[in-house]
Amino acid sequence: MISFGPTEEQELIRQTVHEFAAGEMREIARACDEKHELPEELLQKSWELGLVAGGIPESYGGGGIGRSPITNALVLEELGWGDAPLAAAAMTPALFVQPILDFGTDEQKQAYLPLFTGSKFHAATLALLEPNFTFDPGNLRTVAEPKGTGFSLTGAKRLVPLAASASHLLVVARGARDGLAGLEAFIVPRDAKGLSIAPAAERTLGFQCLPRFSVTLDRVEVPAEARLGGEKGIDGARLVNSVRAASCALALGLARGVMELAIPYAKDRIAFEQPIAQKQAIAFMLAEMQIEVSSMRHLVWKAASQLENGLDATRATTLAQTYVNREVMKIADNGLQVFGGHGFIREYPVEMWYRNARALTVNEAVCAL
């Protein structure tokens, strides 16, 4: 039979992550946003859940649950419901681990996956975005040129999460071919000669507590073994689709959080001697939130399902990204309107969620399925 719901194991994982998001993330989200700080304790607690190590095979020291973009989408929705920037920070190592699992050679898996199976949080990240207004992952300015038996990397990356504390960066560069098919990824240690990391010059609207950095590569030389996938390379479209679908899953969780806060508030808020939820304009907003959140989830699950089954998920991911980016902002804005004046003050989290929603729509490389 066809099932459109999670398995028993996936539902158990979802419930566990939801309890963590409710008990650990929501409690500190506002303080982290105000102070622009990322608590190390939260990273460690999230690490102990095994959200990254669980998908690593037992042969490399992992939990052996198996690589599952669908399960990851469920996890990211719950974490996004808790707090999107804290979720992105906790799952930043997956930006490095998931591509290793998908494309890495046996030697690369043996060398790097065990780093993420210990008891302590281990930071690694993906350097994809570039500092230009016309950023297109199919037309990167960062280039990889053959040099001797290895490669020389030159270019600049921006908004790279946790780069300063990462042991390794997975740098995406343009190879010999055009488009996404020409993308290459290289495993670069943080202390590589010619690699410089600086705090991001941009002050962003949201995601205040997620440390992000600018990365410059000035003819960084790496050996041939650093090329992810070896001579075969990577599937550039799958890599891009993975990070885009993951951002959609985070946005879905954020949108659900707005909805689940707005509905009871509208039922309790009395204006002109009746709950505002009985006002037609408000009732329509709340009904549309339900429809849009359900539609967003369907599109995210479809993209995740195609990724899990090894299909070309470009169309499904593009549809999900287009719809989710539009509707998450609509839901966040409607949430502000439902709360009225309370939506614009910091007593309630809706203004913070509004800012984080906008940040998610323009910064897609914060996590991976």
> How far, in Å, CA of 17 to CA of 45, rounded?
11
The separation between the first and the last C-alpha atoms of the chain, rounded to the nearest angstrom, is 26
125-232: CATH homologous superfamily?
A: Butyryl-CoA Dehydrogenase, subunit A, domain 2 (2.40.110.10)
| Level-2 CATH architecture, domain 8-116 | Orthogonal Bundle (1.10)
* Domain ranges across the chain: 8-116, 125-232, 236-362
> How far, in Å, CA of 170 to CA of 128, rounded?
8
Give the number of other Cβ atoms within 10 Å of residue 66's Cβ.
14
Give the residues across from 126 on adjacent strands.
Answer: 170
- Report how far apart, in Å, the C-alpha atoms of 325 and of each of 77, 92, 159, 169, 360 are: 15, 21, 19, 27, 8
What is the model's pLDDT at position 294? 96
Q: 84 near 251, Cβ under 8 Å? A: yes
> How far, in Å, CA of 221 to CA of 150, rounded?
7
Q: Average pLDDT for consecutive 10-residue bins of the chain (369 residues)? A: 79 96 95 94 95 93 90 97 97 97 97 96 96 87 94 95 97 89 95 94 84 96 96 95 96 98 92 89 95 97 96 96 96 94 87 95 84
What is the model's pLDDT at position 342? 85
Given the candidates 3.40.640.10, 1.20.140.10, 3.20.20.70, 3.90.660.10, the CATH classification of the domain at 236-362 is: 1.20.140.10
pTM for the whole thing?
0.94
